């Protein structure tokens, strides 16, 4: 159970990092690179959400029969 939560958290951190990278590129006027990073960030965010939902579902089933 703990591993699935760690994986979801790591993916959330990666998404946040890539979002910041996208913002930095856009602030510098590099909209192409900023857009590319923003698309990657969305993918990481979606994946993190999926992992978090799975971890939550699994943790709710622990101890129930």
pLDDT tens digits, 13-55:
999 999 999 999 999 999 999 999 999 999 999 999 999 998 8
Q: State residue 1's pLDDT score.
A: 55
User: Do 22 and 51 contact (CB within 8 A), yes or no?
Assistant: no
Q: State residue 56's pLDDT score.
A: 83
Query: At a CB cut-off of 8 Å and minimum separation 6, what does 31 contact?
Result: 25
pTM of this structure: 0.78
Q: Which two tokens stand for residue 44?
A: 């990481």
Q: State residue 63's pLDDT score.
A: 47
Q: State residue 55's pLDDT score.
A: 87
1-19: b or e for each residue (b if 16 or more CB lie within 10 Å)?
A: eeebbebbeebbebbeebb
pLDDT at 64 over 80: no
């Amino acid at each position: 159970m703990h591993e699935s939560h760690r994986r979801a958290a790591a993916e959330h951190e990666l998404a946040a990092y890539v979002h910041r990278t996208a913002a930095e590129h856009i602030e510098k006027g590099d909209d192409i690179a900023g857009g590319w990073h923003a698309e990657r960030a969305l993918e990481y965010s979606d994946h993190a959400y999926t992992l978090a939902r799975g971890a939550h579902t699994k943790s709710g089933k622990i101890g129930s029969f």
